[in-house]
Structure 1
Amino acid sequence: MITLANAPVSYGVFELAAEEGVDLPGPEQIAAMISAAGYAGIDSGPIGMLGRGAELRDRLARHGLALAGGWVDMPFTDDDAFAAALPGYRDAMAFFAEGAELHPDTPPRPTLADSGSDARRANPGGGPDLSLDASGWDTLARNVSSAVRIAGEYGLRPTFHHHACTHVETPEEIDELLARTDVGLTFDTGHLIIGGGDPLEGLRRWEKRIDHLHLKDVQTAVLRDVVARKAGMRQVWTERAFVPLGDGDLDLDATMEQIFGSGYSGWLVIEQDVIPQPGDDPGQPQSHQRRNRDALTPWFPKGDLA
């Protein structure tokens, strides 16, 4: 079974600061909008943003939502920094365990990612001199395996997100991660394009390891321009590289056909990452997320969220 979710990042709410003068929706408003747009699940946004414990479960229950997962980046390539980050990581796992109590049949998937580096953040798409050496890969793999083991102590099964501006971004780096670890892969159509991959080829290539999906549509010309200028990842979001499904260059029909043909079962999280700008229509994010849900009607009829 595939279950649809959306994410606070589609409304501009994530770990990066908002643009000056822009008011972002709070947790109650985001949950209400995602539910009203027709999704069964919600990504966590910044850990704890939706509440903790009873507050979290009450908010999810009132809006008919399950917690789908959420971003947890860690400095996997630095042993000392990784050890220092473990208390916060354990707290994040406790948060997901709190949310899992409400919908045990569709548990949240903590979505691990590497924290990257200054050089990677300045170079979306990576480059020949930016990848880890063998020792770096050994360190990353060892710490990812430790993170997976710790999550298991909380009854959780994490998944790993290949992500722009990190050490697991390009198809070759994804291959290396999967060869060195047993962790499943969060497959993200938009971030794979940034890393130089093709979504359809990637879905086929890693079919047996994909256990979580992030679906984005992308204006590749905008992405290529940002990458060529080495403008950094924030510009990808502020320059609206991610657009409603059907407005960009993603072949949605072929992508969905490939997903269903693979036998995939789990969360399908619709993300349209954006950093809202002063003067934006405040109703635009919700309008876009309704459009995204409508675009998926051929595969997920209205009233059938999973």
Structure 2
Amino acid sequence: MRLGYHSITWGGVVGEAAGVTSAKDLYYRANGSMAEAIRDIGSAGYEGVEMFEGNVADYADEPEVLRGMLAASGLELVSVYTGANFIYADALPDEMSKVTRSADLAAEFGASHLVVGGGARRAAGTARGDYDRLGDALDQVVEIAEARGLTASYHPHLGTIVENPDEIEEVLSRSRIGFCPDTAHLAAGGGNPGELVRSYPDRVRFVHLKDFRPDPVTFLPLGHGDLDLADVVSAVREAGYDDWLMVELDSYDGDPRAAAEISKAYLDELLG
């Protein structure tokens, strides 16, 4: 398994202001320097990087700049992260237009994975049929990704209708999309990450790693929290997974490069 790191730690995640009134323009992005992130991730010894769709879109008109930064740091763009509400029928065509644009960019820059989050939790509570709508939408995402040579995976996330193990089953039973276990989000949602990987061994298509402390909910570099990450890696290996392990730390109270180095040292020791 090869090791990558998400650029989110450099600035944290934000969204496009235009997305408030235009779903097709609602990109995720990390609010920091991608040149710095790519340089730091490469110098920490990783081989790949995951980026948000909005950060990749910044280089759509000058692709040679991003390709040059990646090459200079010895990295490849492994995955692009996107997402949407997915449950509102009127907004869905615009959301799928945005997902298609993200998949186009991922393919243009040589990525192999499209990682997707989402499934809005309504103000009035989850409606009957929301999981059906989400499952149908995620199957559309799979078709978009496959048409571009990408593997699509669904990332359960706090704040969506897919947080806990029962909700994960609701969506995975309704869609053929791959499963991207995120160790910290699974734990924060009340699940055991290793057990959840073992529950869906044939669905694991991508892996996000971060450590976690529950009270208060805090995401941490690997080895600095309470998770049994050795068990997660064992579960991933038992599933026959032999692709990327992507470290994704939402924020860090310090130098993001230092956080990347901490997690890299932990994984080097864990993987032997």
Mark yes or no: TM-score above 0.5: yes
The one-letter code matched in structure 2 to 1:111 is V
Once the two structures are TM-superposed, the CA of residue 59 in structure 1 deviates from its matched residue by 2.1
Q: 1:9-20 residue pairs with structure 2 within 5 A?
A: 9-15=8-14
State the partner residue of 1:291.
262
State the partner residue of 2:237.
260
Q: Secondary structure at the match of 1:177?
A: helix
State the partner residue of 1:48.
55
**Larger deviation, residues 208-217 vs 47-56:** 47-56
State the partner residue of 2:101.
91
Once the two structures are TM-superposed, the CA of residue 272 in structure 1 deviates from its matched residue by 1.6
2: CA distance between counterparts of 1:73 and 1:98?
A: 19
Q: 1:101-250 residue pairs with structure 2 within 5 A?
A: 107-117=111-121, 119=123, 130-133=125-128, 135-223=129-217, 241-250=218-227
Q: Which has the higher contact order (CA 8 A, sep 6+)?
A: 1
Q: TM-score, normalised by structure 1?
A: 0.77
Q: Quick check: 1:132–1:167 contact (8 Å CA) kept in 2?
A: no
2: CA distance between counterparts of 1:29 and 1:261?
A: 36
Q: Which runs of 5+ in 1 are unaligned?
A: 18-23, 101-106, 120-128, 224-240, 302-306
Q: Quick check: 2:153–2:177 contact (8 Å CA) kept in 1?
A: yes
CA distance 1:298–1:164, shift in 2 (3 Å): same
Deviations 1:240-283 (A, max 9, x none): x1112111101122222222233212121111211x6xxx64xx
CA distance 1:244–1:189, shift in 2 (3 Å): same
Q: Quick check: 1:13–1:45 contact (8 Å CA) kept in 2?
A: no
**Alpha-carbon RMSD:** 2.2
Q: Which residue of 65, 77, 81 corresponds with 2:75?
A: 65
Does residue 34 in structure 1 map to residue 41 in structure 2?
Answer: yes
Once the two structures are TM-superposed, the CA of residue 55 in structure 1 deviates from its matched residue by 2.7
State the partner residue of 1:76.
86
Q: Secondary structure at the match of 1:298?
A: helix
Q: Quick check: 1:57–1:99 contact (8 Å CA) kept in 2?
A: yes
Q: Quick check: 1:15–1:46 contact (8 Å CA) kept in 2?
A: no
1: CA distance between counterparts of 2:201 and 2:93?
A: 32
State the partner residue of 2:23.
none
Once the two structures are TM-superposed, the CA of residue 292 in structure 1 deviates from its matched residue by 0.6
Q: Secondary structure at the match of 1:222?
A: coil
Q: Percent identity?
A: 28
State the partner residue of 2:27.
none
Once the two structures are TM-superposed, the CA of residue 130 in structure 1 deviates from its matched residue by 4.1
2: CA distance between counterparts of 1:166 and 1:295?
A: 30
Once the two structures are TM-superposed, the CA of residue 136 in structure 1 deviates from its matched residue by 1.8
The one-letter code matched in structure 2 to 1:6 is Y
1: CA distance between counterparts of 2:127 and 2:205?
A: 25
State the partner residue of 1:8.
7
Q: Which runs of 5+ in 2 are unaligned?
A: 17-30
Deviations 1:30-52 (A, max 9, x none): 10000001111111134334623
**Larger deviation, residues 82-91 vs 191-200:** 82-91
CA distance 1:131–1:260, shift in 2 (3 Å): same
Q: Quick check: 2:112–2:149 contact (8 Å CA) kept in 1?
A: no
**Larger deviation, residues 81-90 vs 196-205:** 81-90
